[in-house]
């Protein structure tokens, strides 16, 4: 009996009582390696002394001050640090409490920008079928996950969707990266023209797709072509790095690797590393200036935005990543993880694809490899893998989902940036056993 309304009320959960580095410990003393960082959140593991001290210091000094009265040193310092490292043109950070809120702010900023500059007819948002942008109504509307959207369709704004960049399933035989990227950029342009080029506000995409498909990186050059189409038609580019940003791919911002700077960039999960709930929307000077010199006010806001303790935690997370040179470790351990997965699972007839960037890695499972035939949804393979992994003291993030009409099963791995080579070996050994038992 629990008074908590859990995600899945019929499924009893172990009680987490402590964290120790990359492990979570339950009330029976059992340890679980957190190989998914929860959901790509806990990038510094669970008991980082420096972050805990920073939270304590800020909470003692001033836990919270409402942003209509004050700014705080923590918020100012965090924004300065994030913006100085951000892609060109992003000049300000709008702090919220998580990923969905960051996406809502991005959508509203895009819309208000066009109202401010006298193009109020720009109201359409285009996103991709393979995407998740959050569960609040605006973010859910632009997301492409049919199952999550279905019951709420009457409540959602009318968003439009194009094909994802998903080389494993979407690229034609013999098609080059260049040709595939061009085909997708042409599809986006056709959609913009179909809606009326001067009615489209923004195109929204995850730089590296997370939960809906399991760490799917774009092919080389995709985002540069997309950016060019957006610019040609005056459409803003919103990149959602809620999951893949903040160092997860080995770059602080995943779009650095694409050589593309968006107009709006959202971050969350790794920003607070799970020590505090925090997200942010990074805003281009163009949008910021239009609002400041226009109405002078972004018509939005939340009670907990710019929360001082959350900002202090995120600031310390950033300092730790720099001081401990963790982006280099993400790159090295990521290579090791993919290589070890290929060695352990690469020959398995049910493993279709192993992919990802940095410590953001996906394993796609198929019933039949040659035809890339997905498992039947009713098998609920992802649930079986999670169960087998937890039994072996391993947290991973398996998902099943419909992508372009196909049901796909994948496992997302997003271990903490502090993982050692030995930790990676232990993760792969346990995951290999769990997958074999579930299949």
104 makes contact with ligand PLP (CB under 6 A): no
The CB-of-248 to ligand PLP minimum distance in angstroms stands at: 11
Residue closest to ligand PLP when measured from CB atoms: 99
The CB-of-279 to ligand PLP minimum distance in angstroms stands at: 6
Closest CA to 34 of 48, 46, 49, 23: 23
CA distance 188 to 209: 17
Please pick, from the candidates 45, 87, 134, 218, the single residue that binds ligand PLP as defined by CB under 6 A.
134
Helix residue ranges per DSSP H, 5-98: 37-40, 49-62, 73-84
Q: Could you tell me the CA-to-CA distances from 231 to 71, 189, 200, 223, 226 in Å, in that order?
A: 34, 11, 12, 12, 9
**DSSP state for residue 150 in the 8-state scheme:** G
149 makes contact with ligand PLP (CB under 6 A): no
CA distance 161 to 112: 22
* Class of residue 332 by CB neighbours under 10 A (exposed 0-12, middle 13-18, buried 19+): middle
Query: 140, 219 in Cβ contact below 8 A?
Result: no
105 makes contact with ligand PLP (CB under 6 A): no
Closer CB to ligand PLP, 142 or 321, in the complex = 142
98 makes contact with ligand PLP (CB under 6 A): yes
Closer CB to ligand PLP, 95 or 132, in the complex = 132
The CB-of-362 to ligand PLP minimum distance in angstroms stands at: 13
Listed in sequence order, the residues at least 6 apart from 11 whose beta carbon sits closer than 8 Å to its beta carbon are none
**Maximum distance among all Cα pairs of the chain, rounded to whole angstroms:** 61
CA distance 374 to 83: 42
The CB-of-222 to ligand PLP minimum distance in angstroms stands at: 17
Binding string, residues 203-242; x marks residues near ligand PLP by CB under 6 A: ---x---xx----------------------------x-x
Binding string, residues 1-40; x marks residues near ligand PLP by CB under 6 A: --------------------------------------x-
Query: 165, 131 in Cβ contact below 8 A?
Result: no
Binding string, residues 260-299; x marks residues near ligand PLP by CB under 6 A: --------x-------------------------------
Question: Which residues in this chain contact ligand PLP in the complex, by CB under 6 A?
Answer: 39, 98-100, 103, 132-134, 206, 210-211, 240, 242-243, 268
């Amino acid at each position: 009996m629990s008074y908590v309304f859990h995600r899945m009320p019929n499924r009893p959960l172990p009680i987490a009582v402590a964290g120790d580095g990359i492990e979570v410990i339950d009330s029976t003393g059992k340890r679980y390696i957190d190989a998914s960082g929860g959901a790509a959140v806990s990038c510094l593991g669970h008991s980082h002394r420096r972050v805990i001290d920073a939270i304590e210091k800020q909470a003692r000094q001033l836990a919270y001050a409402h942003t209509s009265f004050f700014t705080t040193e923590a918020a100012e310092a965090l924004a300065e640090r994030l913006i100085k490292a951000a892609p060109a043109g992003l000049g300000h950070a709008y702090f919220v409490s998580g990923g969905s809120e960051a996406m809502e702010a991005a959508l509203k900023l895009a819309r208000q920008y066009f109202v401010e500059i006298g193009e109020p007819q720009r109201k359409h948002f285009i996103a991709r079928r393979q995407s998740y942008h959050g569960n609040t109504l605006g973010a859910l509307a632009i997301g492409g996950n049919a199952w999550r959207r279905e019951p709420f369709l009457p409540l959602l704004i009318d968003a439009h969707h194009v094909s994802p960049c998903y080389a494993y399933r979407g690229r034609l035989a013999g098609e080059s990266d260049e040709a595939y990227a061009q085909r997708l950029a042409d599809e986006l342009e056709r959609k913009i023209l179909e809606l009326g080029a001067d009615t489209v506000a923004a195109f929204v995409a995850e730089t590296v797709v997370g939960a809906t498909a399991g760490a799917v990186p774009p092919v080389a050059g995709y985002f540069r072509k997309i950016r060019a189409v957006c610019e040609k038609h005056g459409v803003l580019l919103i990149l959602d790095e809620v999951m893949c940003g903040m160092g997860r791919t080995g770059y602080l911002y995943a779009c650095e690797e694409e050589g593309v700077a968006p107009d709006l960039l959202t971050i969350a999960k790794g920003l607070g590393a799970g020590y505090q709930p925090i997200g942010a929307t990074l805003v281009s000077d163009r949008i910021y200036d239009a609002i400041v010199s226009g109405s002078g006010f972004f018509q939005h806001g939340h009670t907990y935005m710019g929360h001082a303790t959350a900002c202090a935690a995120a600031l310390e997370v950033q300092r730790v990543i720099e001081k401990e040179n963790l982006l280099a470790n993400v790159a090295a351990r990521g290579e090791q993880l993919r290589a070890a997965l290929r060695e352990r699972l690469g020959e398995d007839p049910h493993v279709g694809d192993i992919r990802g960037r940095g410590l953001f890695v996906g394993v796609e499972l198929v019933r039949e490899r040659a035809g890339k035939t997905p498992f039947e949804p009713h098998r609920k393979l992802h649930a079986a893998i999670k169960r087998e992994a937890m039994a072996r003291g391993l947290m991973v993030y398996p998902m099943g989902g419909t992508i372009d009409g196909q049901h796909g099963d994948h496992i997302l791995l997003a271990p903490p940036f502090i993982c050692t080579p030995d930790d990676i070996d232990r993760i792969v050994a346990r995951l290999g056993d769990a997958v074999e038992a579930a299949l």
